[in-house]
Amino acid sequence: MSEVAEKKAVVATPREPLFSTKNRKLLTDPFDDNNPITVQVLGICSALAVTTQVYPALVMAISVVFVCAFANLAIALMRKGIPPRIRMIVQLVVIATLVTIVDQMLKAFAYDVSKELSVFVGLIITNCIVMGRLEAFAMGSKPWPAFLDGIGNGLGYGAILIVVAVCREFFGAGTILGYKLIPEAIYSAGYVDNGVMLTPAAAMFVIGILIWIQRSRNTKLVDIS
């Protein structure tokens, strides 16, 4: 082997697998150690407003996953060409474009849900989770890790939304995805749906319980300062 070839062999480094341990953590951490809602306390407004039923919460979760993932990817691809002074404007334009696509798709294929979600789809543009990941991660990362980070944070956000929605819809209306789960015999015995669970205060109560459970199980998240 020539001297040049030997130097190339020394300099060459193995390519990181697409789903290496580091990349997998970008997908899994937002479910626990770095959850956008229960740890970072972001996206609370939509978590209170769209979780009275599971279906709208599921649609909102999918929408945020789409916007967060592809916004991260777009900014990561453009990061070296974005002037620092206008980076926030560029980020907002990218997010607004993706949110417009989501909004039009919902109006075309799920109009009733679009009406129910109302302004909250548009408010994804200013969602702190999406903006935060662009600023904190995508601006300094390669496209693939940024894409995975967007998916992970969107799924972490969506998981909390769905858990809260399941609790609120079941105890508030006795249904899941519109299907009645509590037998009529239970109602005949005197059971009444808890209407309080359909109020925003109940959503905050459920989120508080989730935070308590999470910190009881994962004590490193407890603030001991």
- Please check the confidence at residue 225 and state whether its pLDDT lies above 50: no
- Please check the confidence at residue 10 and state whether its pLDDT lies above 50: no
* Tens digits of residue pLDDT in 140-162: 999 999 999 999 999 999 999 99
Instruction: Pick 10 or 31 by higher pLDDT.
Output: 31
* Tens digits of residue pLDDT in 102-121: 999 999 988 888 888 877 88
Give the C-alpha separation, 97 to 207, whole Å: 31
Per-residue pLDDT, 112: 86
Per-residue pLDDT, 59: 92
The answer to whether residues 120 and 50 touch, using CB atoms and an 8 Å cutoff, is yes
Q: With bands split at pLDDT 50, 70 and 90, how would you rate the model's confidence at 13? A: low
Per-residue pLDDT, 156: 94
pTM: 0.87
* Tens digits of residue pLDDT in 161-173: 999 999 999 999 9
Give the C-alpha separation, 48 to 34, whole Å: 20
Q: Tokens 């993706």 sit at which residue?
A: 98
* Tens digits of residue pLDDT in 32-68: 889 999 998 888 888 888 899 999 999 999 999 999 9
Domain ranges of the chain: 18-25+35-165+174-215
Q: Tokens 């799924």 sit at which residue?
A: 155
- Which tokens sit at 30? 């937002």
The answer to whether residues 138 and 79 touch, using CB atoms and an 8 Å cutoff, is yes
Give the C-alpha separation, 107 to 118, whole Å: 11
Ramachandran quadrant class, 127 (left: phi over 0; alpha: psi -120 to 50; beta: rest): beta
> Whose CA is closest to 152, among 35, 14, 63?
35
Mean pLDDT in the chain? 87
